Amino acid sequence: MAAPMEQFEIHRIVELPKIAGIDFSITNVTLAMLASGVVLCALFGLAAKPAVVPGRLQSVGELLFELIDDLAHSIIGHEYKRYVPLVFTLFTFIAAMNLLGMLVVIPTATSQLSITATLALLTIAVVLVVGFARNGLGFFKLFVPSGVPWYLLILMVPIEIISFLVRPLTLALRLFGNMIGGHVVLNIFGSFVVSLALLAIGHSVFSLSSLAWLVSALSLGSVVALIALEFIVAFLQAFVFAALACVYLNDVVNLHSH
Protein backbone atom coordinates (compact mmCIF):
# COMPACT_ATOMS: atom_id res chain seq x y z
CA MET A 1 0.00 0.00 0.00
CA ALA A 2 1.29 3.46 -0.88
CA ALA A 3 2.73 5.57 1.92
CA PRO A 4 0.74 8.73 2.79
CA MET A 5 3.53 11.02 1.55
CA GLU A 6 4.13 9.14 -1.72
CA GLN A 7 1.49 11.23 -3.50
CA PHE A 8 3.64 14.34 -2.99
CA GLU A 9 6.80 12.96 -4.60
CA ILE A 10 8.05 14.75 -7.72
CA HIS A 11 8.76 12.55 -10.74
CA ARG A 12 10.41 13.59 -13.99
CA ILE A 13 8.19 13.00 -17.00
CA VAL A 14 10.48 14.44 -19.69
CA GLU A 15 14.21 14.71 -19.10
CA LEU A 16 15.72 17.96 -20.37
CA PRO A 17 19.31 19.20 -20.06
CA LYS A 18 20.30 21.66 -17.37
CA ILE A 19 20.91 25.24 -18.43
CA ALA A 20 23.13 27.35 -16.15
CA GLY A 21 22.65 24.76 -13.44
CA ILE A 22 18.84 24.93 -13.63
CA ASP A 23 16.95 21.72 -14.32
CA PHE A 24 14.26 22.37 -16.96
CA SER A 25 12.90 18.79 -16.93
CA ILE A 26 9.12 18.46 -17.05
CA THR A 27 7.77 16.82 -13.88
CA ASN A 28 4.36 15.62 -12.76
CA VAL A 29 3.93 18.87 -10.84
CA THR A 30 4.80 20.88 -13.97
CA LEU A 31 2.13 18.99 -15.88
CA ALA A 32 -0.37 19.67 -13.08
CA MET A 33 0.31 23.41 -13.35
CA LEU A 34 0.07 23.30 -17.15
CA ALA A 35 -3.21 21.40 -16.91
CA SER A 36 -4.58 24.03 -14.53
CA GLY A 37 -3.58 26.80 -16.94
CA VAL A 38 -5.15 25.01 -19.92
CA VAL A 39 -8.39 24.41 -18.00
CA LEU A 40 -8.57 28.09 -17.00
CA CYS A 41 -7.89 29.30 -20.54
CA ALA A 42 -10.56 26.96 -21.91
CA LEU A 43 -13.08 27.93 -19.21
CA PHE A 44 -12.73 31.69 -19.62
CA GLY A 45 -12.32 31.41 -23.37
CA LEU A 46 -15.76 29.82 -23.54
CA ALA A 47 -17.20 32.05 -20.79
CA ALA A 48 -16.06 35.22 -22.57
CA LYS A 49 -18.36 34.66 -25.55
CA PRO A 50 -20.97 37.45 -25.39
CA ALA A 51 -24.57 36.36 -25.17
CA VAL A 52 -27.81 38.17 -24.39
CA VAL A 53 -28.79 35.34 -22.05
CA PRO A 54 -25.66 34.15 -20.20
CA GLY A 55 -24.95 30.43 -20.39
CA ARG A 56 -23.72 28.36 -17.48
CA LEU A 57 -20.02 28.93 -18.15
CA GLN A 58 -20.52 32.65 -18.68
CA SER A 59 -22.48 32.85 -15.43
CA VAL A 60 -19.72 31.02 -13.54
CA GLY A 61 -17.05 33.28 -15.05
CA GLU A 62 -18.99 36.42 -14.18
CA LEU A 63 -19.67 35.24 -10.63
CA LEU A 64 -15.99 34.50 -10.04
CA PHE A 65 -14.94 37.86 -11.46
CA GLU A 66 -17.55 39.75 -9.43
CA LEU A 67 -16.39 37.93 -6.30
CA ILE A 68 -12.81 39.13 -6.71
CA ASP A 69 -13.84 42.54 -8.03
CA ASP A 70 -15.95 43.16 -4.91
CA LEU A 71 -13.18 41.80 -2.69
CA ALA A 72 -10.54 44.12 -4.18
CA HIS A 73 -12.91 47.11 -4.08
CA SER A 74 -13.79 46.57 -0.42
CA ILE A 75 -10.16 46.23 0.68
CA ILE A 76 -8.10 48.45 -1.66
CA GLY A 77 -10.63 51.20 -2.30
CA HIS A 78 -11.31 53.39 -5.32
CA GLU A 79 -7.99 52.56 -7.08
CA TYR A 80 -8.65 48.84 -6.96
CA LYS A 81 -9.34 48.22 -10.67
CA ARG A 82 -5.70 48.23 -11.80
CA TYR A 83 -4.94 45.41 -9.34
CA VAL A 84 -7.93 43.19 -10.10
CA PRO A 85 -6.17 41.30 -12.96
CA LEU A 86 -3.34 40.23 -10.64
CA VAL A 87 -5.61 39.21 -7.77
CA PHE A 88 -8.06 37.44 -10.09
CA THR A 89 -5.23 35.51 -11.76
CA LEU A 90 -3.81 34.42 -8.41
CA PHE A 91 -7.23 33.35 -7.17
CA THR A 92 -8.26 31.38 -10.24
CA PHE A 93 -4.86 29.74 -10.75
CA ILE A 94 -4.61 28.58 -7.13
CA ALA A 95 -8.23 27.42 -7.12
CA ALA A 96 -7.68 25.50 -10.36
CA MET A 97 -4.58 23.75 -9.00
CA ASN A 98 -6.36 22.91 -5.73
CA LEU A 99 -9.55 21.60 -7.33
CA LEU A 100 -7.92 19.80 -10.25
CA GLY A 101 -5.79 17.83 -7.80
CA MET A 102 -9.02 16.69 -6.14
CA LEU A 103 -10.91 15.83 -9.32
CA VAL A 104 -8.35 13.98 -11.43
CA VAL A 105 -5.37 11.72 -10.82
CA ILE A 106 -2.66 14.39 -10.91
CA PRO A 107 -0.69 15.84 -7.99
CA THR A 108 -1.96 18.99 -6.33
CA ALA A 109 0.67 21.56 -7.28
CA THR A 110 -0.04 23.68 -4.20
CA SER A 111 1.00 20.77 -1.96
CA GLN A 112 4.58 21.61 -3.02
CA LEU A 113 6.18 24.31 -0.87
CA SER A 114 8.28 25.50 -3.81
CA ILE A 115 5.09 26.37 -5.74
CA THR A 116 3.36 28.20 -2.89
CA ALA A 117 6.60 30.01 -1.99
CA THR A 118 7.00 31.18 -5.60
CA LEU A 119 3.44 32.55 -5.64
CA ALA A 120 4.00 34.24 -2.28
CA LEU A 121 7.31 35.83 -3.36
CA LEU A 122 5.71 37.02 -6.61
CA THR A 123 2.90 38.67 -4.62
CA ILE A 124 5.29 40.43 -2.23
CA ALA A 125 7.51 41.49 -5.15
CA VAL A 126 4.52 43.19 -6.79
CA VAL A 127 3.69 44.87 -3.46
CA LEU A 128 7.26 46.19 -3.23
CA VAL A 129 7.24 47.46 -6.82
CA VAL A 130 3.89 49.20 -6.33
CA GLY A 131 5.00 50.57 -2.97
CA PHE A 132 8.19 52.19 -4.28
CA ALA A 133 6.59 53.29 -7.57
CA ARG A 134 3.78 55.13 -5.77
CA ASN A 135 5.58 56.38 -2.68
CA GLY A 136 9.31 56.39 -3.40
CA LEU A 137 11.29 56.37 -0.18
CA GLY A 138 8.04 57.23 1.57
CA PHE A 139 7.38 53.48 1.33
CA PHE A 140 9.33 53.10 4.56
CA LYS A 141 6.54 54.98 6.37
CA LEU A 142 4.81 51.58 6.24
CA PHE A 143 7.00 50.53 9.16
CA VAL A 144 6.27 53.62 11.23
CA PRO A 145 2.70 53.46 12.62
CA SER A 146 1.07 56.87 12.90
CA GLY A 147 0.04 58.21 16.28
CA VAL A 148 2.59 56.13 18.19
CA PRO A 149 4.79 57.98 20.73
CA TRP A 150 8.45 58.23 19.67
CA TYR A 151 9.69 56.10 22.56
CA LEU A 152 7.46 53.21 21.47
CA LEU A 153 8.71 53.42 17.88
CA ILE A 154 11.99 51.86 19.02
CA LEU A 155 9.99 48.71 19.66
CA MET A 156 7.28 49.05 17.00
CA VAL A 157 9.47 49.67 13.94
CA PRO A 158 11.46 46.40 14.25
CA ILE A 159 8.19 44.53 14.85
CA GLU A 160 6.63 46.06 11.72
CA ILE A 161 9.73 45.22 9.63
CA ILE A 162 9.78 41.61 10.85
CA SER A 163 6.03 41.34 10.26
CA PHE A 164 6.50 42.49 6.65
CA LEU A 165 9.44 40.16 6.02
CA VAL A 166 7.55 37.06 7.20
CA ARG A 167 4.56 37.77 4.95
CA PRO A 168 5.80 35.58 2.07
CA LEU A 169 6.57 32.79 4.55
CA THR A 170 3.10 32.86 6.09
CA LEU A 171 1.44 33.11 2.67
CA ALA A 172 3.37 30.08 1.41
CA LEU A 173 3.02 27.94 4.53
CA ARG A 174 -0.71 28.62 4.98
CA LEU A 175 -1.60 27.38 1.50
CA PHE A 176 0.93 24.53 1.54
CA GLY A 177 -0.01 23.31 5.03
CA ASN A 178 -3.75 23.26 4.40
CA MET A 179 -3.45 21.37 1.11
CA ILE A 180 -0.88 18.79 2.17
CA GLY A 181 -2.54 18.24 5.56
CA GLY A 182 -5.94 17.49 4.09
CA HIS A 183 -4.53 15.10 1.49
CA VAL A 184 -2.51 13.16 4.07
CA VAL A 185 -5.56 12.73 6.32
CA LEU A 186 -7.63 11.55 3.33
CA ASN A 187 -4.95 9.04 2.39
CA ILE A 188 -4.73 7.68 5.95
CA PHE A 189 -8.50 7.26 6.33
CA GLY A 190 -8.69 5.71 2.87
CA SER A 191 -6.05 3.15 3.86
CA PHE A 192 -8.16 2.33 6.95
CA VAL A 193 -11.12 1.51 4.71
CA VAL A 194 -9.13 -0.89 2.55
CA SER A 195 -7.15 -2.50 5.39
CA LEU A 196 -10.18 -3.12 7.61
CA ALA A 197 -12.27 -4.43 4.71
CA LEU A 198 -9.51 -6.92 3.85
CA LEU A 199 -9.29 -7.89 7.52
CA ALA A 200 -13.05 -8.46 7.67
CA ILE A 201 -12.99 -10.63 4.54
CA GLY A 202 -10.10 -12.74 5.75
CA HIS A 203 -11.22 -13.19 9.38
CA SER A 204 -13.23 -16.23 10.33
CA VAL A 205 -14.52 -14.96 13.70
CA PHE A 206 -17.91 -13.37 13.08
CA SER A 207 -17.70 -10.77 15.87
CA LEU A 208 -14.27 -9.52 14.82
CA SER A 209 -15.31 -9.56 11.17
CA SER A 210 -18.44 -7.52 11.95
CA LEU A 211 -16.41 -5.04 13.99
CA ALA A 212 -13.91 -4.63 11.15
CA TRP A 213 -16.75 -4.04 8.67
CA LEU A 214 -18.30 -1.46 11.02
CA VAL A 215 -15.06 0.48 11.50
CA SER A 216 -14.36 0.26 7.77
CA ALA A 217 -17.81 1.73 7.01
CA LEU A 218 -17.24 4.52 9.54
CA SER A 219 -13.87 5.27 7.94
CA LEU A 220 -15.53 5.38 4.52
CA GLY A 221 -18.10 7.85 5.83
CA SER A 222 -15.26 9.96 7.23
CA VAL A 223 -13.51 9.91 3.87
CA VAL A 224 -16.65 11.13 2.08
CA ALA A 225 -17.07 13.94 4.63
CA LEU A 226 -13.39 14.89 4.39
CA ILE A 227 -13.54 15.01 0.59
CA ALA A 228 -16.46 17.45 0.77
CA LEU A 229 -14.50 19.51 3.32
CA GLU A 230 -11.39 19.42 1.13
CA PHE A 231 -13.30 20.89 -1.82
CA ILE A 232 -14.45 23.75 0.42
CA VAL A 233 -10.93 24.26 1.78
CA ALA A 234 -9.47 24.18 -1.75
CA PHE A 235 -11.71 27.09 -2.77
CA LEU A 236 -11.36 29.00 0.51
CA GLN A 237 -7.56 28.84 0.50
CA ALA A 238 -7.49 30.41 -2.95
CA PHE A 239 -9.86 33.12 -1.69
CA VAL A 240 -7.77 33.71 1.45
CA PHE A 241 -4.61 34.07 -0.65
CA ALA A 242 -6.37 36.62 -2.87
CA ALA A 243 -7.75 38.49 0.16
CA LEU A 244 -4.30 38.73 1.77
CA ALA A 245 -2.83 39.94 -1.52
CA CYS A 246 -5.45 42.72 -1.49
CA VAL A 247 -4.58 43.58 2.12
CA TYR A 248 -0.87 43.85 1.33
CA LEU A 249 -1.58 45.96 -1.76
CA ASN A 250 -3.86 48.21 0.27
CA ASP A 251 -1.00 48.89 2.69
CA VAL A 252 1.12 50.46 -0.08
CA VAL A 253 -1.66 51.94 -2.24
CA ASN A 254 -3.20 53.81 0.71
CA LEU A 255 0.02 54.37 2.62
CA HIS A 256 -1.04 57.90 3.55
CA SER A 257 -3.75 56.45 5.81
CA HIS A 258 -1.51 53.79 7.36
Q: What mean pLDDT do residues 71-76 have?
A: 94
Percent of the chain with pLDDT over 90: 40
pTM for this prediction = 0.86
pLDDT band at 16 (very low <50, low <70, confident <90, very high): confident
| Total domains in the fold of the chain | 1
Query: What percentage of the chain reaches a pLDDT higher than 70?
Result: 86
Main-chain dihedrals φ then ψ at residue 23, nearest 5 degrees: -85, 115
Work out the average pLDDT over 205-222: 67
Q: Residue 127 — very low, low, confident or very high, per pLDDT cuts 50/70/90?
A: very high
Residue 98 vs residue 13, higher pLDDT = 98
Instruction: Tell whether 117 is covered by a domain.
Output: yes
Look up the domain containing 88 and give its range.
6-257
No. of helices (H) and no. of strands (E), the chain: 7, 4
Q: Of the given ranges (72-81, 127-136, 154-163, 224-233), which has the lowest mean pLDDT?
A: 224-233
> Chain-wide mean pLDDT for the chain?
84
3-state SS track over 28-90? HHHHHHHHHHHHHHHHHHHHCCCCCCCCHHHHHHHHHHHHHHHHHHHHHCCCHHHHHHHHHHH
Q: What is the pLDDT of residues 237-257, one digit of tens each?
A: 999 999 999 999 999 998 876
Q: Which of 223, 228, 201 is nearest to 213 (CA)?
A: 201
Residue 217 domain-assigned? Answer: yes
d(CA 202, CA 182): 31
Residue 1 forms part of a structural domain: no
CA dist 155 and 23 (Å) reads 44
Q: At what angle do helices 167-202 and 150-165 cross, to 10 degrees?
A: 50
Domain for residue 225, yes or no? Answer: yes
Is there a domain that residue 85 lies in? yes
Q: Provide mean pLDDT across the span 127-155.
A: 88
Q: Is the pLDDT of residue 136 over 80?
A: yes
Mean pLDDT on 204-212:
59
Split at pLDDT 50, 70, 90, the class of 56 is confident
Q: Which residue has the higher pLDDT, 75 or 186?
A: 75
Is pLDDT at 104 greater than 70 in this prediction? no
| Bigger pLDDT: 169 vs 150 | 169
Cβ proximity of 63 and 141 under 8 Å: no
pLDDT band at 200 (very low <50, low <70, confident <90, very high): low
Q: What are the distances in angstroms from CA 100 to CA 35, 152, 234?
A: 8, 49, 10
Residue 76 has pLDDT above 70, yes or no: yes
Residues 56 and 251: their CA atoms lie apart, in Å, by 37
pLDDT at 257: 67
